[in-house]
Chain A
């Protein structure tokens, strides 16, 4: 799996958009970009994933550059409850009868939302 690089920590004001960058310059053509977050010691929470196109769901938007070497997770209106460690993970596709490959977590970005 390709390696990712994220800033160690970021701050954002409540109500503003939080933009979390991730570099994955060695990503392969069939690898997806995933974002998870972990609040305190809770189980990691799935946020969003994408392959080439930008994606949006009820939680966030994912912007992937055209060369796919980097991406940005956008939380459009951050709240205090968005304070967490955010993980950008690159993973290969599902292999039927074997399952999708494991998730390899890095240190992530510790995002603090300030009131």
Chain B
């Protein structure tokens, strides 16, 4: 059974629109990560989040991106004004309880910006 699920599985949006991607853990988690993968390229780290704060972010994670935990459970990644180059798979990752060396990934959200 997956540790996390992600919604939506596929999101199509127009350039300049805001999108919110959601990560829903099965159980209570403190650590969250977002990664993305542009088609045909490597999986890239975006941001890590611990105890309701960003603990690390990459150069990709600019002012257009934000993360939050709006209801203490779900974990969201927001892109304020999407660009064509934001088209990618976005993966959420976390750790199973008590197994803080094993990072598990969600199934991903495919974002297509037109």
Contact = CB atoms under 8 A, between A and B. Distances in A.
Nearest to A51: B101
B75 interface: no
A41 B88 CA distance: 10
User: Which of A43, A49, A98, A102 has the largest count of B CB atoms less than 10 A from its CB?
Assistant: A43
Contact of B101 (A41, A97, A100): A100
B30 to A, nearest CB: 8
Question: Chain B interface residue count: which class?
Answer: 20 to 34
Contacts, number: 64
B51 A97 contact: yes
A99 B107 contact: no
Query: Chain B: interface secondary structure?
Result: strand
A108 to B, nearest CB: 8
Contacts of B33: 102-103
Nearest to B41: A107
Contact of B108 (A42, A97, A100, A103): A42
Contacts of A42: 107-108
A43 B102 contact: no
A49 B99 CA distance: 12
Interface in A84-115: 87, 94, 97-107
Contact of A102 (B37, B45, B95, B105): B45
14 contacts: A41-B37, A41-B39, A41-B110, A49-B102, A98-B50, A99-B50, A99-B100, A100-B100, A100-B103, A102-B45, A103-B33, A105-B35, A105-B43, A107-B42
